Amino acid sequence: MKTAVILAAGQGKKLWPYASCRPKAMIPVCNQPVIERQVSQLMQLSFGRIIIVAGPFSEQIRHQFRDAAQVSVIEAADSRGTADALSRAARLVYQDCLVLYGDVVLDLSDLKRLSDKLSDSENSVLVTKLDNESASDHICCRIGQSQDPDNCQVTEIAGHPRGSGYYRFAAFSLKQPFIPYLAVNSGIFEKLDVGVMPTHEQHLELSLIDWMKDGQVIRAIVTEKGSVDIDKPWHILMANYAMTVHMCERLTRTQISEQASIDETAKIDGHVTLGKGSRIGYHVIIQGNVIIGDHTVIENGAIIEGNVVIGDHCRIENYCHISSGTTIGSHCVVSHCAEISGMLMDGVYLYHYMEISGLVGTNTDIGAATVCGSLRFDDRETLHRVRGRLEQPPHFANATYIGDYCRTGVNATIMPGCKTGLHSIIGPGVVLKKDLPDKTLIQVEQQLTTKEWGPEKYGW
């Protein structure tokens, strides 16, 4: 029986505000949690045993897989790093195994290439070339040149290095003789660029460095479809956009499920997958390929651009506009001239005359005429502050990031790049120019002047 371990014990602090109420591995990508997608992929590859090492909010992961006999969950909220987390799982593993990070989105074809390496005699890693991302944000590696992309060799492992030509780790195929190296992990990178300040954490990659020091070889497989490491808020939008486009572009014909229907006045220029009991109604315009879940109603002049994924039990109606590459969760309402570009998690309400560009968390109610700025007056990209550090996102820097269980008032304006924390409220008329912490209400303090008035003051 093939075994895989998914490491999902991270704190997710750099993902604020979206890890304030869920594990990073439960972040949805095209309306499916990352870790659920991973488990599904592993089952397709005939893995009969999957061990998840979970940290904060582990009960959500247990609930997600409560009916999956192949999946077991280990608690590791006090984990000292990925090597420590894997070491705890290794006590239950008596064979070579595949190891995945629970917050990395991978294509099934690339995961299969790594899975095929389980029969080899050497450790192997699946890596993604760093193109638009800085190597100084990652633990990464260099690999030797090879005509065979499935048989490169790792030549160096580095902690947040400067320079180019590096690859980011995505998954691992590990042999049993490697497991003892986890227990003696030092937690410190010894070889660093001058000025780099490492944290004390038992990274799995440190044990791989020790393995290489002892003369062992690590093979590298370069992803063909790429991967997304969901570490910061903009990575959620990156993963959802890429997956939405990928899923929609694969459609080659329209598929209408039972009890679903398309009104004869609807204009569809593309292919549609329409779920059970769903309906595309009066004068709807769809300009490309769209995937629609079950029991969702789209009607009354709604305009949807191509490459859009919409969940179950939604109402999309009344001349709203949904931009290409957008993902909409289940139980959402997008109505009356609302515009959305980006991603809505489950239970989001967009009603009257609003423009949302970015990511909106679960069960958030957006007030009428709320506007999210997506273009700065200087036409530049917004710098983001992540745990005190200024960072330049490679994509979606000017998007707005609204947390879970939030509300906005009428005519609220959220400037490019701003984030709002869990359980927060932006009051009517507020122009939000900086991040709003968790559990915070911000409102305008209005000063009023009262004067006498009447016919004698005006015209008589």
Q: Is residue 451 part of a domain?
A: no
Report which of residues 199 and 213 the model is more confident about.
213
3-state secondary structure 50-71: EEEEECCCHHHHHHHCCCCCCE
Instruction: Name every residue whose Cβ is closer than 8 Å to that of residue 302 and which is 6 or more positions away in sequence.
Output: 284, 285, 316, 317, 318, 319, 320, 321, 322, 334
Check: pTM over 0.85? Answer yes or no: yes
Residue 135 has pLDDT above 70, yes or no: yes
pLDDT tens, position by position, 260-297: 999 999 999 999 999 999 999 999 999 999 999 999 99
Confidence at residue 454, expressed as pLDDT on a 0 to 100 scale:
86
Point out the domain boundary residue: 202, 229, 256.
229
SS3 of residue 237 by DSSP? helix
**Is residue 188 located within the same domain as residue 313?**
no
73-89 pLDDT, tens digit per residue, is 999 988 899 999 999 99
The total domain count for the chain is: 2
Encode pLDDT of 16-54 as tens digits.
999 999 999 999 999 999 999 999 999 999 999 999 999
In which element (H, E) is residue 238 found?
Answer: helix 233-249
3-state secondary structure of 336: coil
- pLDDT-derived band at 340 (thresholds 50, 70, 90) equals very high
pLDDT-derived band at 193, boundaries 50, 70, 90: confident
Q: Enumerate residues 6+ apart whose C-beta is below 8 A from 374.
A: 341, 357, 358, 398, 399, 400, 416
Identify the domain boundary among 170, 204, 229: 229
Do 30 and 135 have their domain in common? Answer: yes
Q: Are residue 166 and residue 55 in the same domain, yes or no? A: yes
Is there a single domain that holds both residue 284 and residue 160? no
69: left (phi over 0), alpha (psi -120 to 50) or beta: alpha
Whole-number pLDDT of residue 211 = 96
- Look at the alpha carbons of 291, 63, 21, 349 in this order and tell me if their dihedral is positive or negative: positive
Same domain, 223 and 275: no
Q: What is the pLDDT of residue 223?
A: 95
User: What are the tokens at 454?
Assistant: 């009447």
Query: Is the pLDDT reported for residue 218 higher than 80?
Result: yes
CATH code at 312? 2.160.10.10
CB contact at 8 A, 220 and 208: no
Which residue reads 């609930």 in tokens? 63
Query: Could you give the CA distance from residue 206 to residue 187 in angstroms, rounded to a whole number?
Result: 7
Average pLDDT over the chain reads: 94
Q: Is residue 452 part of a domain?
A: no
Show the domain range for 333.
238-442
Residue 7 pLDDT > 80, yes or no? yes
Burial pattern 363-385, b for ≥16 Cβ within 10 A else e, equals bbbbbbbbbbbbeeeeeebbebe
Verify that 342 and 250 share a domain, yes or no: yes
Specify whether 168 is located in the same domain as 253: no
Same domain, yes or no, for 275 and 200?
A: no
Instruction: For the chain, give percent helix, strand, coil, nearest 5.
Output: 20, 30, 50
Q: Are residues 422 and 359 in the same domain?
A: yes
| Per-residue pLDDT tens over the stretch 355-413 | 999 999 999 999 999 999 888 888 999 999 998 889 999 999 999 999 999 999 999 99
Q: Please check whether residues 187 and 315 belong to one and the same domain.
A: no
- Say what the pLDDT of residue 133 is: 85
In a shared domain, residues 121 and 19? yes
Res 147: pLDDT: 72
Does residue 460 surpass a pLDDT of 70? no
Residues 154, 249: one domain? no
